[in-house]
Amino acid sequence: MGKTEAKRRYDDACGTAHGLELIGERWALLVLRELMLGARRFSDLRADLPGISANVLTQRLTELEDRGLVRRKKLPPPASSNVYEATEWGLEAEPIVQVLGRWAARSPMHDPTMPISATSIMLSLKTMADEKRAKGFEARIGFRFGEERFVGRMRKGRFKVARAEPVDTDFTFTGTPPQLAAVIYGGAPLDSIGFDGDAGLARKFVTLFPLPPKASVAG
Amino acid sequence: MGKTEAKRRYDDACGTAHGLELIGERWALLVLRELMLGARRFSDLRADLPGISANVLTQRLTELEDRGLVRRKKLPPPASSNVYEATEWGLEAEPIVQVLGRWAARSPMHDPTMPISATSIMLSLKTMADEKRAKGFEARIGFRFGEERFVGRMRKGRFKVARAEPVDTDFTFTGTPPQLAAVIYGGAPLDSIGFDGDAGLARKFVTLFPLPPKASVAG
DNA sequence: CCGTATCCAATAAGATACTG
DNA sequence: CAGTATCTTATTGGATACGG
pLDDT at A167: 97
B16 CB within 8 Å of a chain A CB: yes
Strand bridging mode A194-197 / B70-74? unpaired
Whole-angstrom Cα distance, residue B185 to residue B176?
A: 14
Q: Do A16 and B97 touch (CB under 8 A)?
A: yes
Buried b (16+ CB within 10 A) or exposed e, B127-138: bbbeeeebeebe
Handedness of CA A75, A96, B178, B64 (dihedral sign): positive
Question: In this model, does residue B48 exceed pLDDT 60?
Answer: yes
Helix (H/G/I), strand (E/B), else coil: B79: coil
Answer whether 0.75 is exceeded by the pTM.
Answer: yes
Residues B115, A10: Cα–Cα separation, whole Å: 10
Tens digits of residue pLDDT in B75-114: 776 666 889 999 999 999 999 999 999 999 999 988 878 8
Q: State the smallest CA–CA distance between residue B202 and chain A in angstroms.
A: 22
Query: Phi/psi of residue B46, each to 5°?
Result: -60, -40
| Alpha-carbon distance A2 to nearest alpha carbon in chain B (angstroms) | 15
State the pLDDT at residue A79. Answer: 63
**Cβ–Cβ gap A14/B67 under 8 Å:** no
Give CA–CA dist A32/A98, Å, rounded. Answer: 12
pLDDT digits 0-9 by tens, A27-81: 999 999 999 999 999 999 999 998 888 888 999 999 999 999 999 988 766 666 7
Q: Which residue among B16, B71, B217 places its CB closest to the CB of A29?
A: B16
Residue B206 has pLDDT above 90, yes or no: yes
How far apart CA B64 and CA A203 sit, in angstroms, is 39
Count Cα atoms within 13 angstroms, Cβ side, for B32.
28
In a 3-state reduction of DSSP, which class is residue B150? Answer: strand
Chain B, residues 48-67, CB within 8 A of chain A, namely 49-51, 67
Spell out the SS3 assignment of A153-215: EEECCEEEEEECCCCCCCEEEECCHHHHHHHHHCCCCHHHCEEEECHHHHHHHCCCCCCCCCC
Residue A33, helix vs strand vs coil: helix
pLDDT band, residue B4 (cuts 50/70/90): very low
- Domain segments of chain A as ranges: 10-92, 98-205
What pLDDT was estimated at residue B7? Answer: 59
Query: D7 C1' – A4 CA distance, angstroms?
Result: 21
Model pLDDT, residue A78? 60
- How many C-beta atoms lie closer than 10 Å to residue A43's C-beta? 11
Strand D: list positions under 7 Å from protein Cβ.
1-6, 10-17
Q: B135, B139, B165, B138: which is closest to B150 by C-alpha?
A: B165
Over residues B32-36, mean pLDDT: 97
Whether B100 sits inside 8 A of A102 (CB atoms) is no
A to B CB pairs, distance under 8 Å: 211
CATH architecture of A10-92: Orthogonal Bundle (1.10)
Q: Which of A15, A49, A103 sits opposite B19 (nearest CB)?
A: A103
CATH top class, domain A98-205: alpha beta
Q: What angle do CA B27, A53, B99 make, to 5 degrees?
A: 35
